[in-house]
Structure 1
Amino acid sequence: MREPICVLANAGSGRKSGARIAQLTEPLRAAGLKHEVRLIRKGALIPAAAQEARADGFATVIAAGGDGTICSVATELAGSGIALGILPLGTFNFFARSLGLENDPEAAMAQLLAGSEIPVAAGEVNGKLFLNNASLGLYPALLEQREAAYAKWGRSRWAAYWSGLRVLATYNRPSRMTLTVDGVVQVRHSPMVFIAQNAYQLEEYGMQEGVDLIRAGKLAVYIAPELRRWQLLGFALRIAVRMARPYRDFTLIGAAAVEIETRARRRTIARDGERETMAAPFAFRRLPDVLTVIVPVAGTS
């Protein structure tokens, strides 16, 4: 691992106390590596902290947190050549798992210490990176409800699933969207467009056709059909039990770039579990090899 090393830890939620972070980063000290731990108390401050770490000349930045934290740090490191290490502390940790990192943070730190650097692609929407997926429509509303459920019951998969059912039960009507997919314009009425760039998450849900597109260097663009409320609940259930199929349950398109316009000039966009209001048009594209990421060496654990 290249020195000096900066550990950016999101201490705003979950089990990410200062004492816990100190315990997880002890192997860096034991290995004699020059490093600094910076605890971030509010998620909104993560981009600024990552910018500061980049300006301070760190050769490696380890992002400790969930997918949203990793995405925020990655956005600021993109194109810099600074090595990104990931210490998974979130609920799902899709990006970390896609790289072969253990879901257990102690084991993941051991993998980082013995790891190697590789170039990794990312998606981008209006200048902001996403590592797993980005979307507009129903999914950002689901994330808002999920955060409310986490605040009430704590972070768990069951709270996430329950919040999803609540959003679907209050769904009203689809949006009119104009999509320009690799230069070809089409108009759709859809409750949601979901754009994936990480094959691992799609594999978890048995969506092999999307996996094939991503491995071919494309974004996998999922367009939900125009559905009534009761139909949408069935659609969500088919996805949950891995029975949803493209061309029957939704439209799937492989694309290098997608631009979306809606009647609203500003919409909430979800990126790797975080929500942000952006101005139209919403331009999505794939950026090959934009990040330098530390991954496990085969046989390490």
Structure 2
Amino acid sequence: MQPIDIHRYAPLFVVMNAASGSQDSQAVRETVEREVHRAGRSVFFRMLEPGQDLSTVAARAVQQAVEHHGIIVAAGGDGTINAVAQAALGKDCAFGVLPQGTFNYFSRTHHIPADPVEAVRLLLNTREAYPVQVGLVNDKVFLVNASLGLYPELLEEREAAKQAHGRSRVVAMWAGLRTLLHRHRHLRLTLQMESGALGKRQQTIKTPTLFVGNNQLQLEQLGMPEAPRVSQGQLAAITVKPQPTWRMVWLGVKGLFGRLGEADEIVSFPLRDMVVQPLLPLGRRRIKVATDGEISWLTPPLRFSVASMPLNLICPTPAAFEQSQQQSTGT
């Protein structure tokens, strides 16, 4: 798919979650306003206030961006970016990011600067938005990953730790290891996938978690061989064979050191479309699913797929990124 053009005076519509990340949102807002006005452009903010629904705020901002031929911008962590991307997918507007999260996998993958000044200047000076792949689980967007089982529990523990001890990678990693020390229930999942000329193939597995990745950087950091498939129009699925608690902790350590893909206990495979039917306890109709760190309850079956339409992202071209790297290193 071809990039879309951006008008040189396109206004910016910024959705900002004041609770995201460790940076001061007011300082970021002032930086954005200063740079935008210096460039002779317009910017409109939609600040997420306590009690407001992020998806509703994002949908209204996207509607305004489309009506005014503007740029929709997500300012926050991966969860905020996900909500705005959900509203922007399939809409005729460019999508920008001002990263303010802890890991910022999406922005780092696409070489979007973490510095607010550099990030907003990228939004102002770029004249094309480039198509990037979006993952779906049923109708929920995921740009980084989607998961069920142990991984959503890990995310909830991590968020609680951040609330108590602040947002940092050390806190996040410690919370993850602590979650692995607990006993966890195994899921029984029936997986159905397309298998070329053979039609559909189906298998039933028992696993503590199913993780589907859509971010090459995160998969590379885990040491997964499927990481390059994400840039080739596929997703990467990871499951774990049932293990004792101490072994799960060891797998977590291997993941921290980028060697998870070497473990015999890990089963991973690429996919474009997969239907998952979990065996739920009697009386339960929904299952907890995490998408880019945000928890929701979805009704099975769960269909994991690559969206038919991309997100039109404002990011450096490979040539521009390489040039900036050379300038920063003095080569």
Short-chain TM bin: over 0.9
Write the deviation string for residues 184-205 of structure 1: whole angstroms up to 9, x where unpaired: 2110000011101121221233
Aligned counterpart, 1:106: 117
Give the secondary structure class of the aligned counterpart of 2:184: coil
1:47 pairs with 2:50: no
Write the deviation string for residues 16-40 of structure 1: whole angstroms up to 9, x where unpaired: 4334312233211111112211211
Write the deviation string for residues 107-129 of structure 1: whole angstroms up to 9, x where unpaired: 22222222231111100012011
Distance 2:307 2:184 in 1: 35
Give unmatched runs, 5+ long, in structure 2. 1-5, 195-199, 326-331
Aligned counterpart, 1:275: 295
Distance 2:52 2:78 in 1: 14
Question: What TM-score do you get using the length of structure 1 for normalisation?
Answer: 0.93
Task: Say whether the 8 Å CA contact 1:122–1:290 is kept in structure 2.
Answer: yes
**AA at the equivalent of 1:254:** P
Instruction: Give the 5 Å matches for 1:1-16.
Output: 1-2=6-7, 3-13=10-20, 14-16=22-24
Give the secondary structure class of the aligned counterpart of 1:171: coil
Aligned counterpart, 2:256: 240
1:125 pairs with 2:137: yes
Instruction: Give the 5 Å matches for 1:40-189.
Output: 40-42=48-50, 45-56=53-64, 57-58=67-68, 59-115=70-126, 116-182=128-194, 183-189=200-206
Q: 1:300–1:81: structure 2 CA closer, same or farther, 3 Å change rule?
A: farther
Distance 1:212 1:148 in 2: 33
Aligned CA RMSD, in angstroms, stands at: 1.9
1:287 to 307, 314, 328: 307
Question: Aligned residues: percent identity?
Answer: 34
Aligned counterpart, 2:329: none
1:205 pairs with 2:212: no
Mean Cα deviation higher: 62-71 or 98-107: 98-107
Aligned counterpart, 2:270: 254
**AA at the equivalent of 2:305:** R
Task: Say whether the 8 Å CA contact 2:288–2:298 is kept in structure 1.
Answer: yes
The structural deviation recorded for 1:134 is 0.5
**AA at the equivalent of 1:150:** K
Matched pairs, number: 300
Mean Cα deviation higher: 54-63 or 184-193: 54-63
Task: Say whether the 8 Å CA contact 2:46–2:61 is kept in structure 1.
Answer: no
The structural deviation recorded for 1:102 is 1.5
Distance 1:238 1:190 in 2: 18
The structural deviation recorded for 1:225 is 1.2
Aligned counterpart, 1:217: 233
Task: Say whether the 8 Å CA contact 2:14–2:61 is kept in structure 1.
Answer: no
Mean Cα deviation higher: 289-298 or 231-240: 289-298
Aligned counterpart, 1:230: 246
Distance 2:52 2:254 in 1: 35
Task: Say whether the 8 Å CA contact 2:33–2:43 is kept in structure 1.
Answer: no
Distance 2:74 2:168 in 1: 21
**4+ residue runs of structure 1 moved beyond 4 angstroms?**
none
Give unmatched runs, 5+ long, in structure 1. none
The structural deviation recorded for 1:142 is 0.4
